[in-house]
């Protein structure tokens, strides 16, 4: 017998009204009219700098320079390091010129793939490479923590110096990169001609602000996002997809998936072999998924609360109507997981017991250790971004994707540029790269609230995040939780994700899986060279730090998906006959086939 649950009154089944567009003076009502001039000026400047505040840059370097000037000990230390690095390079050069094969004194970073060609092991290329890495090593030491220097500014200067050095890397130029020289010789320069064509094509799309369509060989609904299903509800903010069952019976409790709104939902429904949604349907679950719309300037006033109310809560109401008298397993990915945690805490506070469990995948609830994305997030930077969004109504695709790419610029920017523009190699699309390039916008008000309240001020775990005028607390969540983090995540570092265990008291399973922010989540059964760790925290148990947890849990070979599936089964109450999508008699007919219409919005 399925478990019964207390249901909230159903929301209106009609679509939510369209939000009013934000007028230029909407956020400056009651202020001096010159405030609009200030915001317009800053918004124009922000678009020129891709949203990077000049004040944040100058403040970081000024702070670093003043503290370095009054630190004679650090200056002497850096002088000694420069001498040591020069001596290492001199010894390496001498041995190399004498025909020996000495060990390289400097090694590239973990994600730096620019030096993989065998030509970098031979002179003169090896000398240029080691000279570059030696300078990089010195600047890394020069921008390390310094007594009195703000840690954020130390990290900022180090980050900016890495970006600057990357622009003059010998790997970037045809005359100093052995791989480019070799390819040019083999093709009689055809690679450079092809690269020029690629550059012209990319420049045309960038200057025209054109969004590249999804390639036909990865057509949405046919190759990607192809799990059969129907859109059973639509409002101004989202479409709700219910997937068709592939088993005769299903678990009584359905699953609601809440993706991030920064990208399109089908990261969880890519190709047939790595679709988490298809796999979950095959495990005998009734699966629902939110597909967020791609907002424009007319949606500038959409708030974070709108995403909770007209997104998650509306979806729960629809599911309650279609699948009555049972609780719901909720799964949130990335920002969708953060919003789901807010919704779950609010429901717990309001005695709304419709959730059977909560799964968070690569989602943070505490942002004190949110990685390099925090480097330039301060009051000046947030205000700068707000002015840019105020002027255009949203945060645009390039302004977001550029920030993520800069964190791994050596691999995501420069390596790609060399291969595309100098080696003449086309970008061969994969299901993952097609999804990465199919980005969305974010409404100005919602993103401002997220940056300030959630990211900058860290209100969720500080006990200062209010929903409907009252503060919420994650410790109120009493349903079982399953939290997934990935080992090399540069967007949601795993130690930050792990802090969910610090701010909750419920039964909690924590999984740490191999891979990055996206690849670690898409770790389907049969994926080679995959492993994960899993630990169980009983309700009320003492907190264990991330390093202690890591030391206590050995890797398990394989995919974490079956581990999650077994956990979901333990939280479920039994099987019932399979359910077809929608129900016209209940007011939720099929509106169109999955993946719906919002996913196609450019």
CB–CB of 436/211 below 8 Å? no
Q: Looking at residue 452, what DSSP letter applies?
A: I
CA–CA distance, 258 with 255 (Å, rounded to integer): 10
Task: Give, to the nearest 10 degrees, the angle between helix 151-167 and helix 54-69.
Answer: 110
Go through the chain and tell me how many residues it has.
602
Buried b (16+ CB within 10 A) or exposed e, 182-214: ebbeeeeeebbebbeebeeeeeeeeeeeeeeeb
Dist CA 302 CA 292 (whole Å):
13
Task: Answer for the pair 102, 92: CB distance below 8 angstroms, yes or no.
Answer: yes
- Measure the N-to-C terminal CA separation of the chain; round to a whole number of Å: 45
d(C-alpha 271, C-alpha 258), whole Å:
19
Q: Which of 16, 13, 5 is nearest to 317 (CA)?
A: 13
| 303 SS3 class | coil
Q: What gap in Å lies between CA 400 and CA 387, rounded to an integer?
A: 15
**Peptide linkage before 124 cis (omega within 30 of 0):** yes
Cis preceding-peptide flag for 595 (omega within 30 of 0): yes
Active site residues: 334
The backbone torsions φ and ψ at residue 366, rounded to the nearest 5 degrees and listed phi first, read: -125, 135
Q: 170 with 132: CB under 8 angstroms?
A: yes
How far apart are the C-alpha atoms of 227 and 275, rounded to whole Å? 8
Q: Label residues 268-307 b or e (16+ Cβ within 10 Å = b).
A: bbbbeebbbbbbbbebbbbbbbbbbbbbeebbbbbbbbbb
Q: Where do the DSSP E strands lie in 435-507?
A: 442-443, 466-467, 470-471, 481-486
Neighbours of 48 (CB within 10 A): 9
Angle between helices 178-187 and 190-207 (to 10 degrees): 110
């Amino acid at each position: 017998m399925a478990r019964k649950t207390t249901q909230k009154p159903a929301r209106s089944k009609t679509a939510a009204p369209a939000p009013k567009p934000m007028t230029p003076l909407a956020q400056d009502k009651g202020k001096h009219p010159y405030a609009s001039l200030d915001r317009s000026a800053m918004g124009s400047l922000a678009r020129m700098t891709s949203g990077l505040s000049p004040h944040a840059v100058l403040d970081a370097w000024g702070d670093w320079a003043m503290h370095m000037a009054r630190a004679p000990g650090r200056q002497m230390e850096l002088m000694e390091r420069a001498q040591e690095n020069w001596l290492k390079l001199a010894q390496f050069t001498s041995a190399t010129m004498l025909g020996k094969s000495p060990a390289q004194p400097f090694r590239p970073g973990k994600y730096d793939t620019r030096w993989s060609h065998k030509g970098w092991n031979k002179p003169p290329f090896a000398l240029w490479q080691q000279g570059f890495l030696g300078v990089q090593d010195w600047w890394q030491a020069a921008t390390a923590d310094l007594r009195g220097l703000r840690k954020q500014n130390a990290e900022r200067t180090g980050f900016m110096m890495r970006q600057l050095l990357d622009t003059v890397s010998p790997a970037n130029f045809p005359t100093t990169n052995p791989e480019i020289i070799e390819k040019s010789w083999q093709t009689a320069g055809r690679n450079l001609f092809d690269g020029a064509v690629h550059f012209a094509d990319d420049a045309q799309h960038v200057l025209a602000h054109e969004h590249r369509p999804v390639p036909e060989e990865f057509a949405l609904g046919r190759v990607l996002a192809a799990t059969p299903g129907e859109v059973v509800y639509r409002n101004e903010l989202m479409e709700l997809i219910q997937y068709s069952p592939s088993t005769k019976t299903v678990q009584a409790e359905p699953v609601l998936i809440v993706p991030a709104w920064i990208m399109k939902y089908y990261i969880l429904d890519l190709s047939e072999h790595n679709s988490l949604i298809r796999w979950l349907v095959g495990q005998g679950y009734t699966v629902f998924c939110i597909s967020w719309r791609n907002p424009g300037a007319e949606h500038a006033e959409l708030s974070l609360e709108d995403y909770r109310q007209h997104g998650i809560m509306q979806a729960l109401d629809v599911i309650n109507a279609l699948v009555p008298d049972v609780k719901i397993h909720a799964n949130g990915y990335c920002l969708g997981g953060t919003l789901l945690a807010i919704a779950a805490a609010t429901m717990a506070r309001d005695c709304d017991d419709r959730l059977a469990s909560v799964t968070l995948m690569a989602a943070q609830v505490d942002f004190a250790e949110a990685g390099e994305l925090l480097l330039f997030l301060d009051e000046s930077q947030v205000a700068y971004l707000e002015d840019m969004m105020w002027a255009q109504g949203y945060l645009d695709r390039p302004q977001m994707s550029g920030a993520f790419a800069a964190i791994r610029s050596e691999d995501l920017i420069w390596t790609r540029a060399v291969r595309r523009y100098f080696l003449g190699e086309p970008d061969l699309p994969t299901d993952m790269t097609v999804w990465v390039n199919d980005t969305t916008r974010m409404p100005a008000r919602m993103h401002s609230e997220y940056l300030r309240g959630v990211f900058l001020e860290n209100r969720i775990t500080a006990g200062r995040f209010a929903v409907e005028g009252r503060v919420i607390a994650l410790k109120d969540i009493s349903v079982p939780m399953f939290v997934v983090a990935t080992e090399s995540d540069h967007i949601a570092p795993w130690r930050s994700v792990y802090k969910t265990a610090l701010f909750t008291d419920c039964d909690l399973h924590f999984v740490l899986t191999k891979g990055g922010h996206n690849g670690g989540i898409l770790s389907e059964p049969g994926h080679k060279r995959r492993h994960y760790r899993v630990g169980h925290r009983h309700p009320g148990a003492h907190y264990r730090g991330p390093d202690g947890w890591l030391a206590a849990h050995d890797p398990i070979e394989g995919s974490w998906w079956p581990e999650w599936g077994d956990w979901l089964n333990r939280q479920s109450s039994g099987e019932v006959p399979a359910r077809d999508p929608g129900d016209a008699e209940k007011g939720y007919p099929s509106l169109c086939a999955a993946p719906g219409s919002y996913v196609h919005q450019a």
